[in-house]
Chains A and B, each alone.
Chain A
Amino acid sequence: MLQEIIDELSQYTDVPPEQINEDSNLIDDLELNSFDVLTIVADFEDQYGISIPDEQIMEFHTVRDVEEFLEKNK
């Protein structure tokens, strides 16, 4: 799961996958804006067939936050 998330983020941000880890901050380290996060979340929703509530998205600060949520809810 972690690798899939890292690959998706790497593709989106152009940051090499080896520079992304669980502690990478989506905004500070990967320089995503809040709208980027929304569109990536929409991709994850399609990929894993789940629905992620808006208030949950506000809690996504690091790659780990996304991973933990997807692991629990996929």
Chain B
Amino acid sequence: MRAYPIYELTQVENLRHLIDLRADDNPNGTAFFYTGDDGDVKTVTYSRFRDDVAACATYFMSQGYREGAHIALLGVNSYEWLVTFFAVCNSGNVILPMDARQPVENTMKLLVSGDCTTLVYSREFAPAISAFAANIPGFKGFPMTEAASWIAEGEKLIEAGDHSFAEYELDVDKMCALVFTSGTTGVPKGVMLSQKNIASNINQACGNYCLEGPGLSPLPMHHMFGLVVGHLMVFNYNKPCYIVTNMRNIMKDMQIAKPKCLFVVPMIIETFAKQFRNLGKRAGGQLTPEMVKSVCGGNLSDIICGGAPLMPMYVQMFRQFGINLLNGYGITECSPVLAVNRVHDYLDGSVGPVLHGCEVRIDEDGEILVRGDNVMLGYYKMEKETEEAFKGGWFHTGDIGRIEDHYLIITGRTKNLIITSSGENVSPEELEDKLLADPAVAEAIVYEKDNVLAVQIYPEPEAHAPEEYFKALLDKVNKGEPVYRQMKKLIVRAEPFTRNSTGKIIRALIK
């Protein structure tokens, strides 16, 4: 297709500026809407959101959270999640968005490695709070169910003359978010992002895609793609952003939100494809674009898909329904988007043109290197890893690709990291270490097979353990893992793995 100019919006300087811009432009417009516990649809205007963030931030500042305090955020998607995120980031503190689906023990470990003793949590996690308190010295928890009272308290403080939030001068180059991502070494890395990183990525993403109606993303907000693209980009376009509080209700949510654009990962596309097939079956084999549009709320024209590789056949399938399925590519370290196909400028099988303001170069080994304001500050307390990631002045993504015409094509990864079709990063070494802790396991390799995690185990010959033993071991390890990290296929090998000259198992040979 053809390259065409980027969309020009007022450039967002930081996350406070983002709220001010939109609240000044369109104070009474709908910023967010969602279905409440009572089944009614709630709407929040831009000015209400600005006021709620200011009040919440003032409350936290009054509780002593100032100048770089670390606050973790654990919860399913909600309006309160977003208010807390902005209140913490915009008051000079650091937010640690946590994966709500991981075991509580993992969250506790991440809090410790992120030097964080404060947790804002949604009601689902209330039963686990005593474990946090018992394991983290000085722990303090704030239940999100009390968000309305923090806001009320903050409003009172502001009325009484507390201007600490309004007068706080943001440093856009300081860390405002610490986002954990699975590393290759089995230890999750804390990606340090600044206000400038996130704001620049909102600007860059809005340059490639123009949103003309409501946006909806079922992706978890702790995911940078779900947050920055699925919610903040919609906000910046002054369009209503529907908050999906429970992913399972997506089909109903689309009827309520009537989105113009969806922001998803490939796993959701696979599910949609099955839903559409069923729809066709029920209609006697005739599936029309009108039927697809109707089940998606009636207004859907575009879907932006990222987080994991997408099979091109889906792009073509959705095009037949009159929906542009725009595949993109990003990485948490880049806040996160690097490239995305555009409505009139796309190449199937590619992740589209690189975003403006983002420099991408392919090195002699084929690795994708990046420079730009959206590239992270570094890994938290991991100087060696940071230095390695930035060698030569470019950020090394660990992904292999090429540029054809002006389109970026991803061809593989240098890291062993497995990206599931839900966009989750799984470090195989982390799971392998758990299996190797068992004395009957001599070697274990975790890999992806047919969209699920599989493992091959070579038993310790002296242990004489039967296959059932390893099945039970797998069940035990899986029990402590979220669904996306559970190993579903087991092969017990009769032969050890092939190793290279330096003694490393050659993963590429494992099928």
Contact = CB atoms under 8 A, between A and B. Distances in A.
Contacts of B250: 39
B452 A38 contact: no
B330 to A, nearest CB: 20
Interface residues of B, number: 27
- Chain B interface, DSSP helix/strand/loop, else mixed: helix
B248 A38 contact: yes
Contact of B251 (A11, A36, A39): A39
A11 B248 contact: no
Contact of B270 (A11, A12, A33, A57): A33
Contacts of B421: 33
Contact of B452 (A13, A27, A36, A39): A27
Nearest to A27: B488
Q: Which of B275, B277, B483 is most buried by chain A, counting CB atoms within 10 A of its CB?
A: B483
A71 interface: no
B267 A35 contact: yes
Interface string B236-259: 000000000011111110000000
Interface string B472-510: 000000000011100011000000000000000000000
A70 interface: no
Interface residues of A, number: 19
Contacts of A21: none
B381 to A, nearest CB: 32
A50 interface: no
B471 interface: no
Interface in B163-183: none
B338 to A, nearest CB: 25
A35 B452 contact: no
Interface in A1-27: 11-14, 27
A32 B386 CA distance: 38
Contact of B422 (A11, A13, A35, A58): A35
- Chain A interface, DSSP helix/strand/loop, else mixed: helix
B278 interface: yes
Interface string B265-287: 00110110011011001000000
Contact of A39 (B124, B275, B482): B275
A42 B489 CA distance: 27
A17 B304 CA distance: 35
Contacts of B247: 35, 38
B412 to A, nearest CB: 22
A59 to B, nearest CB: 10
Interface in B141-159: none
B274 A36 contact: yes
B478 to A, nearest CB: 10
A58 B274 contact: no
Contact of B278 (A11, A28, A41, A58): A11
A31 to B, nearest CB: 8
Contacts of A58: 482-483
Nearest to B250: A39
B320 interface: no
Given A28-B489, A35-B422, A14 B124 contact: no
Contacts of A28: 452, 488-489
Interface of A: 11-14, 27-28, 31, 33-36, 38-39, 41-42, 45, 54, 57-58
21 contacts: A11-B278, A12-B278, A27-B488, A28-B489, A31-B450, A31-B451, A33-B270, A33-B421, A34-B483, A34-B484, A36-B271, A36-B274, A38-B247, A38-B248, A39-B248, A39-B250, A41-B248, A45-B248, A54-B124, A57-B248, A58-B482
